[in-house]
Amino acid sequence: MSRRGNYAERARARGETPSMVTGSAMLWSQKRGKRPTVAGLATALWGVLLAVALSSSAAAPVRVYLEKKELTLSTVMIRGAEYLSLKSLGRAVGSSATGAPTRGGARMALGDSTMVLTMGSPEVRIGNSIVVLSETPRQLRESMVVPLELLPIALGARYGEDHVNWNPETRVARVAERAYSLRLFRFRTYPDHTRVVLEGTRPHNFVLREDGASGRVMLEVKGGIVNPSMRTSQVSDGLVAAIEIRQRGNDSQVTIQGTGRSLRSKVFALEGPDRIVVDLFPSERQERHSLPPDTVSKTPRGRAAQSGLAGRAIEATELAGALSVEPLVKTVVIDPGHGGRDAGAIGQSGAKEKDIVLDIGLRLQRLIREQLGMKVIMTRTKDIFVPLENRTMIANRHHADFFISLHVNAAPGSRAVGFETYFLSREPSDRGAKASAVRENTVLNLEGVGQDAQRGLKTVLWDLAQTFYVKESSELAELLLNELGQSLKMENRGIKSAPFFVLIGAAMPSVLVEVAFITNPDEEQKLEQEAYRQQIAEALLAGIGKFRTRYEKRVGSTSAPMPVVR
């Protein structure tokens, strides 16, 4: 064997790649004053190409069949071993990584176990067990990738080894459906409490425990098998920080973590469908926004000291001017209906509902900000399609105080006139309300929501019927209706109730407003006029101002009434 061959063998023994071997050999040859030969150049080129192929190259995707869903996971080849991203692994097990994957390690929840990975180490801890992989987790483009062999191991830890079938030849993993009895959970935030609803396929026995020291409430559901799609949720609503759901053998456990203070709770069961409902309250008896008694300090400090009012007798009017009270009602979500591929109703001259309500919504947004000083969240500010469910999710995410969905009406003929307001109910109040709800809910077909999913959405209505917001929603609908009547001088068609999907899930007073009939040529002509749309926006502003004042008086705020535009 030549000295060059011996050098290459020694280089391979040191773990160098073929390109590194060839490059070293060429460098050694050049040092001896020899010119690289054609064969040497070809060998070097082959080494470079092989090294690139071994360093990082795409491989055929892996498919995971889970709960009637198909996931396609991309993989990559690194030095002859196949890897997938930690994010893709999280998709397969319904979890996400925490920690600092690119700076040493990561953790990922797998049901009632936790998986711990360390960059560069083949040892993976899952619960109390250690799994040794043939390759180690690596860093690739600012993220962690893990050996593909970890996929069936993680799936088995998450869903049960008996329920996972992995075929390395076809590159398919199948997770057998488990007869879970807890299908979904949801939560809502109210002014004085947070509600957690656990929906099942049958009734369950359960035990509720409160841990005052840790601020936790734990619900143990006997025989409850958790749907794998149910995940831990971060709440952070001022009372509840997070809700964690875990499978504990044949039972399940829901842990509700408070935000640093102890919680009071009450639990009860409902039927049709079967649900377990947990209501959580602050341990104190007073409302969240009220101040505890007898906490007035005689030491001049805070805003009273800064205003020069501390330490002397003052008049109430003087104090009110110096110490402002932050209003309770601060945020409203305005939802211009339809948008994008969903044009809504279309008039005889071609006017589209989606364009008219967007213009009214943007005008209303400016008026509320200028006149009421409130924060306004728009579900859309341009011509885009927003799924119905996402609209109330936006409101819940921003902790809105109320939600208003704007629409124009339509009828089979051209004679219908007037305006009307709606709040959510399980059944429509009359045939007209039913027709309006059916028309607005047809957008679900554009979203690809099947009949089974629609029936699932309807189960939420039962919860809404028992919330505090039916009364407030009907009051808001009434105030908006009255202001529209005074301003527009049109037929008032009254307040109605119907099962509008766009209102489902809103954890706040919520209404839907139909401002006119676009199918009536006269009303369509008015709606196309900027002055008329401005008039509608100002009437809605007046109703919002009155509702805000009434609502704050009810919950005990002392802020002054807000100005109303006429």
Of the candidates 75, 104, 105, the residue with the CA atom closest to the CA atom of residue 92: 75
- pLDDT given for residue 123 in this prediction: 92
pLDDT tens sequence across 131-162: 999 999 998 888 889 999 999 999 988 887 87
What is the pTM assigned to this prediction? 0.42
Decide if 488 contacts 419 (C-beta within 8 A).
yes
Is residue 164 over pLDDT 50?
Answer: yes
- Tokens 């026995």 — which residue? 205
| Paired sense of beta strands 143-147 and 138-140, if any | antiparallel
Q: Can you give the pLDDT at residue 445? A: 44
Non-local (6+) Cβ contacts of 125 within 8 A are: 114, 115, 116, 131
**Domains of the chain from N-terminus onward:** 62-175 (3.30.457.10), 182-282 (2.60.40.3500), 331-554 (3.40.630.40)
Measured CA angle at 24 (ends 19, 30), to 5 deg: 125
CA–CA gap between residue 361 and residue 382 (Å, rounded) = 11
Confidence of residue 100 (pLDDT cuts 50, 70, 90): confident
pLDDT of residue 269: 84
Distance of alpha carbon 346 from alpha carbon 352, whole angstroms: 5
Question: How many CB atoms within 10 Å of residue 330?
Answer: 14
pLDDT value for 326: 53
CB 253 within 8 A of CB 218: yes
Backbone angles phi, psi at 68, to 5 degrees: 65, 15
Mean pLDDT value across the chain: 73
d(CA 365, CA 374): 9
pLDDT value of position 554: 63
Determine the straight-line distance between the first and last CA of the chain, rounded to whole angstroms. 99
Comparison of pLDDT for 34 and 298, the residue scoring more: 34
Name the β-bridge partners of 59: 75
Give the whole-angstrom CA distance, residue 64 versus residue 79. Answer: 25
Report whether pLDDT(87) > 50.
yes
Q: Give the Cα separation of 96 and 106 in Å (integer).
A: 10
